[in-house]
Amino acid sequence: MHESSFTSIDDLTDRQVMDILQLAEEYERDGSSYAGKGRGLIMGSLFLEPSTRTRGSFESAMLRLGGGVISVTDAATSSIKKGETLADTARIWSGYCDLIVLRHPWEGTAKAVSDFADVPVINAGDGGNEHPTQTLVDLFTLKKEYGKLDGLSMAICGDLRKNRAVHSLIYALLRFGVDSYLIAPRGSELPDHIRSRIRRVHGVDAQSEKVGPFASLFRADPPVGAGAAIPEQQEINLDALYVTNTESHQLTLLSRPGKRSSRSLTGNERFTLYLTRRQQERERPGEDSSAFYLRVTKDVLRRPTFKQAIVMHPLPRVDEIAREVDEDPRSRYFKQARYGVPVRQALVALITGREKWSSPSERVGVRKSALGIGGMACANEMCVSTREPASASRKFTLDQVDGVSELECRYCGKECTAAASCFRRGVHGVVYHPISKITKADIEGERELFVYATVKEAREDGLEPSASYAEPSVESIRK
């Protein structure tokens, strides 16, 4: 992997994020501050999924820095169509440009490509996984608005399951002390592996409850009519979001340990409504996409709670923000989209070494080491390791929470819970069962780990358990 690829928001340290925001502020304020910074550089812009803002602002950013851009905007016009692998594409483009900006429908693709590229790779969206540069734009918008991040509150509403911009944003908000209120229609809640990562990496347990007492805060048709009297709400005043009143919804409250109670949002403070689009293109055939969705209108914003709120959205919006809100002084989404240029200028200048990080010893890039694994594959059908194993050999990272080990796919981050047994290759092939029993010390120094769903499969593959191995019960294998 190129040492300074940016594939996940967690590839940057807090200080590096702040460096980018600060530099973006300077670039935005003073056009002469970045003149010529990118001279002689070429950006490879590979967008194999639709894009307006991300590609447009990345390319604009590079051109404003004085560099050049070569792009692919459709797989059908490149050799990918002829069957060229991602690995080969990465090698070839490394010879043509100084950095690769990649958007791709498979999860983990930026990581896979950066393994084979000699230049930094920036993730511009990998399927439903992450969209870390959108997060930088979102943080920049918040900072411009409030002058700080710590202590802010944000309600993130909509398709939390498949919206990659939301995933990266949540990780970042937790790091910078912003409380998040996550509101999703049933079936679109935050995925389990993201909750686990929040627990593992940030030590935060997402509390999730049926809306219950909050049910009255959600409204379905008929919407409050224009000019109608709107009752003051007592509790968390997120009542302006329209969802069906016949379904229950998830209200997840995230708050850093030791910080104020997640119920203390009274409505007298400023907070941000962050709306997201339903990710219909990521729904499987047969998945219900007609269920009720959230919507913000002028009537919603008329409620006292929202007097001081601002409205953000990564865009494109469909119906979740009514057109009439565009004229409202609280809407920020068009401004937010414009911030994409200075933020990406700053990111490009820093990643290519044309600007200096404030702490040059801190590296951008993946911090965790991954183990090569045989036997088991990632169960996520949209993961790059499933779609194109030639470019993404099975690799997993091992994490321990409260003494229990969990393996997560190194590319898409999904947990691998199917493994019942784990064999270490070596003179004495050792078997651990269940997988949650392996410790980091057990596998230290190992380059390869073989994981099988059953002991039988492992035996068939020529692996023998050690003498200390106790045959697992059928029950535990199933588990």
* Residues labelled catalytic: 53-54, 82, 103, 131
Query: Could you give the CA distance from residue 124 to residue 117 in angstroms, rounded to a whole number?
Result: 16
Work out how close the CB of 324 gets to ligand NCD at its nearest, in angstroms, rounded to a whole number: 21
Work out whether 67 is an interface residue with ligand NCD (CB under 6 A).
no
Any idea what the Cα angle at residue 153 is, between residues 149 and 158, rounded to 5°?
Answer: 115
Contact 86, 117 (CB under 8 A): no
105, 125, 375, 413: which one binds ligand NCD (CB under 6 A): 125
* Comparison of 281 and 460: residue with beta carbon closer to ligand NCD: 281
Work out whether 104 is an interface residue with ligand NCD (CB under 6 A).
no
Query: Could you give the CA distance from residue 333 to residue 337 in angstroms, rounded to a whole number?
Result: 6
Work out whether 64 is an interface residue with ligand NCD (CB under 6 A).
no
- Number of residues lying near ligand NCD (CB under 6 A): 11
Contact 118, 92 (CB under 8 A): no
Kindly write out the interface string for residues 152-181 of this chain, putting x where it contacts ligand NCD by CB under 6 A and - elsewhere.
Answer: -----------xxx----------------
53, 144, 199, 338: which one binds ligand NCD (CB under 6 A): 53
Work out whether 421 is an interface residue with ligand NCD (CB under 6 A).
no
Work out whether 336 is an interface residue with ligand NCD (CB under 6 A).
no
Work out how close the CB of 374 gets to ligand NCD at its nearest, in angstroms, rounded to a whole number: 34
Cis peptide before 316 (omega within 30 of 0): yes
* Comparison of 54 and 305: residue with beta carbon closer to ligand NCD: 54
Q: Which two tokens stand for residue 447?
A: 């380059």
* Comparison of 133 and 305: residue with beta carbon closer to ligand NCD: 133
Work out whether 282 is an interface residue with ligand NCD (CB under 6 A).
no
Work out whether 54 is an interface residue with ligand NCD (CB under 6 A).
yes
Work out whether 314 is an interface residue with ligand NCD (CB under 6 A).
yes
At what angle are helices 192-202 and 164-175 packed, to 10 degrees? 20
Cβ-Cβ contacts under 8 Å for 366 (sequence gap 6 or more): 1, 5, 7, 8, 11, 111
Pairing of strands 207-210, 250-254: antiparallel
* Comparison of 279 and 297: residue with beta carbon closer to ligand NCD: 279
Q: For 198-296, where are the E strands, in sequence order? A: 207-210, 218-219, 241-242, 250-254, 272-275
Rg of the Cα trace of the chain?
A: 24
Element housing 155 (H / E): strand 153-157
Work out whether 135 is an interface residue with ligand NCD (CB under 6 A).
no
* Comparison of 289 and 400: residue with beta carbon closer to ligand NCD: 289
Work out whether 8 is an interface residue with ligand NCD (CB under 6 A).
no
Q: Residues interacting with ligand NCD, by CB under 6 A?
A: 53-54, 125, 131, 134, 163-165, 277, 314-315
